[in-house]
Structure 1
Amino acid sequence: MNKPHRSGGRAARQAARAAALPDDLRPVRPGLSGGRYAPLTEAQVTRIHETALAALEEIGLSGAPPTGVAAMTRVGAILGDDGRLRFPRHVVEEMLALAARDITLAARDPAHDLTLSGTRVHFGTAGAAVSVVDALTGDYRDSSLADLHEAARLVQALDNIHFLQRPMVARDMPNDQCLDLNTLNACLTGTTKHVGTSFCSAETVPMCLDYLYAAAGGEAAFRARPFVSNSNCFVVPPMRFAFESCQVMEACIHGGLPVLLLSAGQAGATAPAPLAGAVMQAVAECLAGVVYVNALRPGHPAIFGTWPFVSDLRTGAMSGGSGEQALLTAACAQMARFYGLPGGAAAGMADAKLPDMQAGWEQGMSDVMAGLAGLNMVYEAAGMHGSLMGFCPESLILGDDMIGAALRCVRGVEVTEESLSLDAMRQVCIGGPGHYLGTQSTLSVMQSEYVYPTLGCRRSPKEWAEAGRPDLVARARARREEIMAGPNPADFPADLKAALRARFPLLV
């Protein structure tokens, strides 16, 4: 008896999978549109908005520097005898009308530019970890400039990590100026993707701007395509401007850097404990930031950075890997969509100290929910452990696989005449082999419809055992070593590097 003929087979499947696809046909890529998940109803969104406006009008914020007070009162904010700036509703609405929308965060390589419009989703790093986690020994040690540069190199090599925001602090720097300047250099010589960073004080910004202008080939060139943005904690929740951070923000705005308006209250500590209250306060504080930025420079690119965190109310400790954190981030994404502003928030954080099962559920759950909610910039999406205290390179590499799966969820299911597969069903069922393995309809979507993990294991238990029971973290360590041993495509040309070293105190 003749067996049914299989069209294709293993060789055909391998050939189909090996053939590269154009970027626009890849199953996952930067900027896929989410927004299918909405934890808040329209009525709840409106109620949060109205309450935030009431908080700004009745409570306001204190602590702005005189330059900020002058700018905001000039557009209609009211400085009370108690030193608090209050924001009438019409002022907030007028500044929202001026705010930048559909912005692009440039990268040194334009192929990595990030378009922040609608519900387009991008995943990247962030944080200020003070330790590096050794995934094999479990030890935590102080993070260094070399660690930061390595993180940038890894981000450059990982397709699903779309931008580098400084994930750790280089603790081996002697002073603030050295820290801020060398943080920039370590990041930019490691990746051509967009870089976000913070500055310790306004005094360090001028030299850093000079460095950026020199690296870009001139001030005009940088201002036309600013490939670095400033992550700015411009408020100290609850409802108080951070004086020095606001001075940094003003210097960055005048210098041409996009800014992330970051409100990071902790529910139950520096923000209301109910989730709705934590979202509302973050929205109110970021709306004050929108007024601030647009009073200084109408239309300056700024990201609506509602970053409320969660406390474990039994201890008061941060709980970044909790289900409540995932909900907060998704709700904040929805509020940014309500205003039509580019939104950013934190997801992917693990309370777990190592890249283990706890880390997997904590990181994956919040990353998927943030993506489904249509968050434009998902910060801290991979590599962060110990409630943001530690950064783990192997976890970042494993996070690339995780985020690939998350992006596939974000993309959703496309329903077309072709994808419904009636013709393919007819061919298989009527005189065909009775299965879809190796058919043209299957091979044609192997790359465009399906995502395959780089390190994740899908072998059978028998095959896994025969292969020596490969350990996932060990494989990530090997991938890390492979990347770092390879060429560095992001390094500056030799002449530029020499010119920068001659002019600035660079340590990398």
Structure 2
Amino acid sequence: MNQIAPRRSGGRAARRAVRSAPVSDAMRAIRPGMEGGRYNPLTPAEVERIHQTALDALEQIGLADAPPSGVAYLTGAGAIQGDDGRIRFPRALIEDTIARANRSVTLMGRDPRHDMELSGTRVHYGTAGAAVNLVDVDGRYYRDCTVQDLHDAARICDVLDNIHFVQRPMVCRDIADNMEMDLNTLYACCAGTTKHVGVSFTERAFGRKGIEMLHMIAGSEEAWRERPFVSNSNCFVVPPMKFATESCEVMEEVILGGMPVLLLSAGMAGATAPSTIAGAIVQATAECLAGLVYVNAVKPGHPAIFGTWPFGLDLRTGAMTGGSGEQALLSAGCAQMHRFYDLPGGAAGGITDAKLPDMQAGWEQMCSNVMAGLSGLNMVYEAAGMHASLLGFCLESLILGDDLIGHAQRCVRGIEVDDETLALEQIRQVCIGGPGHYLGTPQTLARMETDYQYPKTANRMSPKQWVEMERPDLNAAATARKEAILSERSAARFAPDVDAAIRAAFRIHLPS
């Protein structure tokens, strides 16, 4: 016993020293863009059937309600407008478009270290949605979201390692004018984070004004076009199988302005999409293929994300079930279709139907986040903070979600098997003439940060330590971290002269 005790003590001291040393991004156990793709809910034959059925739907049914400009673009590319006004897509047109489309898209941050390469099975997690309520954890109530809440969310995301991008998660309910809301949403997000930002625009003219603001933030139009750090989340379809006229016009505008596009098809299984999981994936795939033709007709090769976002429905009540197992399967199946086409893609994950950050929220968020990552989804949207089936957003849940996504990413990374990790020689050294344990061995110390992921807010105390620390509450710990983050000035804030110029050109509601 006397011989072993110093070794154990020395091991603890060595581990503490290793843990206190900073670890480079390349050496972290988890990091943005790790490759998933080992989980396949569909067989190759089933993927092929979904693909062929989507082509049948586009060729035989087509999409209605394209704007006149869209009709011109699409028919110019080879689509056919029938006497019923619907645009139908010959198989050859779809196949040629897929062959020509971008296989890799880089979504850039204002800070280049946040750039994300979307290709293959590289996985990234971030926010999204349009919650109208902010969840107050302490008071256990919901209230209208404000532009300040949105800015706070962006600021918190900026310092969370496992939130890789910030697509607008809330609607600024305190701004009544739609154009001012769109422009203030853009301002609040960009002033809060240097990670990639996603926003939407209600009308074509609003998109044009938004790009003007982005030129000012970037420093010039040329600088913006060289590094577009904002993408347009575009609901270009109204499922089932209809174009959203105004959104299509916005899409045309932002493409010409150099902004990447998320082609977002968000049907509700059992309501605006077939109730079966396979049928919902077919419709979302068909709609996004039509969108891909549209984008490439406007500008060949323009960066576009294949955004199949079918949602689940509780058929007993008609309520959305974003936290269900069916939702996890929908997103994982969509990821498999993205891989089949070898196109950058995104879908929803991490939504919870729970009203507060509780055990229900935890199991629902983890289920879809893990499955989306394992399936190799490039962009997992709505991965943290989203409650009440997209109606509520919670800043504390965003912070807790950072830990949760860290665990999900560790699952995505998987298990490395090689001579070193199989550890035969290490077993030999420990068992034959060694200490009989692996604590403090060079191999263990070397792997502490590179192989293991550690939560920042969750605790792993023993019950005794927990009592000694006055029984800390997880939500209270998240609130304390939120307040600490927001007590510091935003590292993403604009230079004073840039901010003054923006405020002179636009009505900014966020206090300076």
Distance (whole Å) between structure 1 residues aligned to residue 449 and residue 120 of structure 2: 26
**Which TM-score applies when normalising by structure 2?**
0.98
- The match for 1:455 among 454, 457, 461 is 457
Q: Which stretch shows the higher mean deviation, 419-428 or 295-304? A: 419-428
Q: Which amino acid aligns with 2:7?
A: R
Does structure 2 retain, via aligned residues, the 8 Å contact 1:95–1:295? no
Give SS of 2:480's match: helix
Residue of structure 2 equivalent to 1:435: 437
Residue of structure 2 equivalent to 1:89: 91
- The match for 1:50 among 49, 52, 56 is 52
Does structure 2 retain, via aligned residues, the 8 Å contact 1:72–1:291? yes
Q: CA deviation at 1:17?
A: 1.0
Residue of structure 2 equivalent to 1:69: 71
Residue of structure 2 equivalent to 1:199: 201
Residue of structure 1 equivalent to 2:37: 35
- Identity between Structure 1 and Structure 2 (%): 65
Give SS of 1:29's match: coil
Alignment: residue pair count? 508
Q: CA deviation at 1:177?
A: 1.2
Residue of structure 1 equivalent to 2:7: 6
Matches within 5 A, 1:323-338: 323-338=325-340
**Cα RMSD (Å):** 0.9
- The match for 1:474 among 473, 476, 495 is 476
Matches within 5 A, 1:230-309: 230-309=232-311
Distance (whole Å) between structure 2 residues aligned to residue 214 and residue 354 of structure 1: 39
Residue of structure 2 equivalent to 1:318: 320
Distance (whole Å) between structure 2 residues aligned to residue 138 and residue 328 of structure 1: 31
Q: CA deviation at 1:3?
A: 2.3
Residue of structure 1 equivalent to 2:173: 171
Q: Tell me whether 1:357 sits opposite 2:365 in the alignment.
A: no
Q: CA deviation at 1:467?
A: 0.8
Unpaired runs of 5+ residues, structure 1, are: none
Distance (whole Å) between structure 2 residues aligned to residue 328 and residue 205 of structure 1: 31
Deviations 1:105-154 (A, max 9, x none): 01000000010011000000000000000112210000000000000000
Misfit runs of 4+, over 3 Å: none
- The match for 2:217 among 210, 215, 218 is 215
Q: CA deviation at 1:94?
A: 1.3
Q: Which amino acid aligns with 2:475?
A: V
**Which TM-score applies when normalising by structure 1?**
0.99
Q: Which stretch shows the higher mean deviation, 325-334 or 493-502? A: 493-502
Give SS of 1:234's match: coil
Matches within 5 A, 1:316-465: 316-465=318-467
Residue of structure 1 equivalent to 2:134: 132
Give SS of 1:24's match: helix
Distance (whole Å) between structure 2 residues aligned to residue 212 and residue 487 of structure 1: 22
Deviations 1:314-360 (A, max 9, x none): 01110000000000000000000100100100000000000000000
Deviations 1:157-181 (A, max 9, x none): 1000000000000011130111111
Deviations 1:249-302 (A, max 9, x none): 111111111000000000000000010000000000000001100011100000
Give SS of 1:407's match: helix
Distance (whole Å) between structure 1 residues aligned to residue 260 and residue 432 of structure 2: 60
Q: CA deviation at 1:2?
A: 4.7
Q: Which stretch shows the higher mean deviation, 418-427 or 404-413? A: 418-427
Q: CA deviation at 1:487?
A: 2.9
Residue of structure 2 equivalent to 1:18: 20
Does structure 2 retain, via aligned residues, the 8 Å contact 1:6–1:439? no
Q: Which amino acid aligns with 1:432?
A: G
Q: Which stretch shows the higher mean deviation, 259-268 or 203-212? A: 203-212
Unpaired runs of 5+ residues, structure 2, are: none
Distance (whole Å) between structure 1 residues aligned to residue 373 and residue 203 of structure 2: 33
Deviations 1:176-216 (A, max 9, x none): 11111111110001000000001111121121111101111
Q: Which amino acid aligns with 2:191?
A: T
